[in-house]
Structure 1
Amino acid sequence: MLNLITPIYRNGLGLTALLLLTGIVVGSVTGYLAPNIATYISDFMDPTLFVLIVLLFFTIRFNPIITDKRKLKFIAIAVIANFVFVPLIGFAIASVFLNHYPLFMLGLMIYFMSPCTDWFLGFTRLCRGDTMLGAALMPINMTLQLLLFPLFLYLFSQNIVELETGIITDTLLNWFIEPVLIALTARLALKLVLNHDQITRLLDKVNRLIPFIIALLIMQIFAGNIDVLLGHIDVFIWMLLAVFCFFVLTFMLSEFVSKRFSLPYSEHVLLTMTVAARNAPLMLAVTMVVLPSQPLIYAAIVIGMLLEFPHLTLLSHLLMRSSHSKTAERLA
């Protein structure tokens, strides 16, 4: 297991988990011991959020369109799994464990419904999965989850939060048009002065910066809302159980689908990772824009994000053990 954890930390994935935990602890302690400082810190959440959204869109990688029929078949399978079956699984789990805590339930639903568009590829690479196909899946996941977010939020937020007609779409447009324009303009400008390799290195550096921005945002959330969060600390055990069940059932889903369609190992790995990993950073940003002043919803998303890394580490261990066993059987 240590042989697996070492490359995870080398790739910065373990560092991300540590940063998120640090953000929670520092924010909570600051909010509890120094409320005046916490109020000042939390007042800057909007600028932090804006920077995060710009960077998330700036680092989107546009990849060649896949034309291979087998690859297109996999993409169709992954899209149906991620945007039909996974949200249904998430809704069932959240309803069972958090039916009496509607804000936490909505937060977990938002976390459950959005497939990852970044760090799942690191785990896919670690387990020798199909990273080129995964890269082609990234913009598809990003586009679909943003388009479907208003629909999912409308379906899952009934009687939980008050939403005015058209507020979701209007707010998303107002908050995201400007960051998208800034990000795209910056990318086009860079193409005029930098070559492909230089742009790739720059994008990698920005990707390494994003976890620090997320950790800062989490620190601000917990610093400004620690009293509210401490008042619901008893709910966190139910959230942990809900996320655990979600990870177990989505793993079973990916195993079933992989066997049903006889996916090769590289695609099996990719499907497992894209179904397991969720796009918590973007969903946290989107939710804070559309549903302001809802710290319980944000906390649910953060908890899911924090638990995701040990889960993906365990999945990597299981997949690599499976790969080694199959190799040994072929050589026997």
Structure 2
Amino acid sequence: MRERLEQYQVGLYLLAVGVGLWVGAYWGSLAEALMAGLWPLLGALLYATFTQVPLAGAWRRLARTRLLAAALLGHFLVIPLLLWGLAQLPLAPPVRLGILLVLLVPCTDWFLVFTHLGGGDTPAALALTPLCLLLQLLLLPLYLWWFLDQAALAGLLRRELLGAFVGLILLPLVAAWLTERWARQGSSERRPWRQRLVAGLGWLPVPLLALVLFLVAAGQVGVVSDHLGLLFGLVPLFAGFLGVALGLAWLLGRAFRLPAAQGRVLAFGFGSRNSFVVLPLALALPAGFEAAVSVVVIQSLVELLGMLLFLRWVPRLFPIP
């Protein structure tokens, strides 16, 4: 039954997005109220995902693989260089800022969920996450100064990233580790049902992700409607970025001779960006930068649909024998 649920997960996600867009279009106030539950729901989603991942020894396994070098090269050298070229285009400053904000920082939350659902090496992806976040904190001031001379903005983004790391990564990770220990301890009579309970949490990632997608679609459709003119230019741009990310993952996977499961980590990692983290930052920008909010929102919706397609394409591009 659980395998059947995962088999039809893409259809479930598309249904959640469609219902969310409908709710956001006709009941905007309800959608805004529901958005307050987005981060707690993301935390629950990541907790349920982490309980299904063997946490012990993840860092040791990562250190012995070529995945670390491939991921860091793609995230922090190749993709920023591509975005530097994009920043040279004649774009309005709020649009350019929004594009760079949302594409410069790799995702550190739901990319883990998609990697897990897409059959990637989730323990290795989990081990990568703290390092990717640390490098974001260190390199973002440099990137923004280099591209836009926005060093003050980088300080605000750093606080958002730290808050996201504690709330969306650290707390669910600690909770999952404690759950894992709890399931292994106790009397011989208690351990089996505890382990069954932990195994039962494996049912939760698919429905919880569907709820997250519903909230994102419902809460953001109103913002997009305020800047419909941006759609025609940004949707192809962000869709093209997903295509480039997939191609980059394939090239680096071949160049570093990565196993298919680790190639899938690269694909989901390069394709997903930290839109949930930079959206509050974009909302805090001064007057005149409202278009940056729409850019972030449009990217998150395009990425959302792109990740659903990735669940189909990535296993085919990186087949596991």
Q: TM-score, normalised by structure 2?
A: 0.70
- Out of 235, 239, 248, which is 1:240 matched to? 235
Q: Does 1:49 align with 2:39?
A: yes
2:125 is paired with a residue whose SS is: helix
- 1:198-213 to structure 2, matched below 5 A, reads 198-213=196-211
Assess if the C-alpha contact under 8 Å between 1:97 and 1:239 holds in 2.
no
Contact 2:10 2:311 in 1 (8 A): no
Structure-2 change in CA distance of 1:86 and 1:24 (3 Å): farther
Q: Deviations over 1:182-211 (max 9, x none)?
A: 763475267436657335424313312321
1:58 and 1:183 in contact (8 A); partners too: no
Instruction: After TM superposition, list the pairs within 5 Å mapping 1:179-198 onto structure 2.
Output: 180-181=170-171, 184-185=174-175, 188=178, 191-192=181-182, 197-198=195-196
Q: Percent identity among equivalent residues?
A: 14
Alpha-carbon contact 2:107-2:274 (below 8 Å) kept = yes
Contact kept, 8 Å, 1:243 with 1:304, in 2: the verdict is yes
Q: Distance in 1 between matches of 2:89 and 2:307?
A: 18
The 3 A distance-change label for structure 1 pair 137 and 40 is: same
SS of residue matched to 2:20: helix
Corresponding pairs, count: 293
Residue 20 of structure 1 pairs with residue 14 of structure 2? no
Q: Does 1:167 align with 2:164?
A: no
Residue 64 (structure 1) aligned with residue 54 (structure 2): no
Query: Aligned equivalents of 2:281 and 2:142: distance in 1?
Result: 15
Shift of 1:277: 1.5
Counterparts in 2 of 1:166 and 1:77: CA distance versus 1, 3 Å? closer
Computed over aligned residues only, the root mean square deviation of the Cα atoms, in angstroms, reads: 4.1
- Deviation of 1:109 (Å): 0.8
Aligned in 2, Cα 1:236/1:275: closer, same or farther, shift over 3 Å? farther
Give unpaired runs (5+ residues) of structure 2. Answer: 184-190, 285-292
Conserved? CA contact 2:107–2:272, under 8 Å: no
Q: Residue 165 of structure 1: CA displacement?
A: 7.4
Work out whether residues 175 and 289 of structure 1, in 8 Å CA contact, stay in contact via their aligned partners in 2: no
Contact kept in structure 2, 1:150 and 1:169, CA below 8 Å? yes
Return the offset for 1:38: 1.6
Cα distance in structure 2, aligned partners of 1:160 and 1:43? 36
Question: Partner of 1:114 in structure 2?
Answer: 107
Conserved? CA contact 2:227–2:294, under 8 Å: no
Query: Among residues 272, 278, 300, which one is paired with 1:287 in the alignment?
Result: 278
Letter of the 1:300 counterpart: Q
Is residue 300 of structure 2 the alignment partner of residue 304 of structure 1? no
Gapped regions of structure 1 (runs ≥ 5): 1-5, 31-36, 126-130, 325-332
CA change 1:51–1:258 in 2 (3 A) is: closer
Partner of 1:140: 127
Asked if structure 1 preserves the Cα contact closer than 8 Å seen for 2:161 and 2:277, the reply is yes
2:99 — aligned with what?
105
Change (3 A) 1:108 1:94: farther
Q: Against the structure 1 CA distance between its residues 213 and 271, is the aligned structure 2 distance closer, same or farther, given a 3 Å change threshold?
A: same
Pairing 1:265-284 to 2, within 5 Å after superposition:
267=259, 269-278=260-269, 283-284=274-275
The amino acid across from 1:299 in the alignment is: I
Return closer, same or farther for 1:82/1:274 CA change in 2, 3 Å cut-off: farther
Is 2:257 the partner of 1:257? no
Does residue 217 of the first structure (1) align with residue 215 of the second (2)? Answer: yes
Is the CA contact (8 Å cut-off) linking 1:89 and 1:249 kept in structure 2?
Answer: no
Alpha-carbon distance between aligned partners in 1 of 2:255 and 2:237, rounded to the nearest angstrom: 27
In the aligned structure 2, how far is the partner of 1:153 from the partner of 1:118?
A: 25
- Check the 8 A contact 2:49/2:205 in 1, yes or no: yes
**Cα pair 1:53 1:282 within 8 Å, conserved:** no
CA distance change for structure 1 residues 316 and 150 in 2, over 3 Å: closer, same or farther? Answer: same
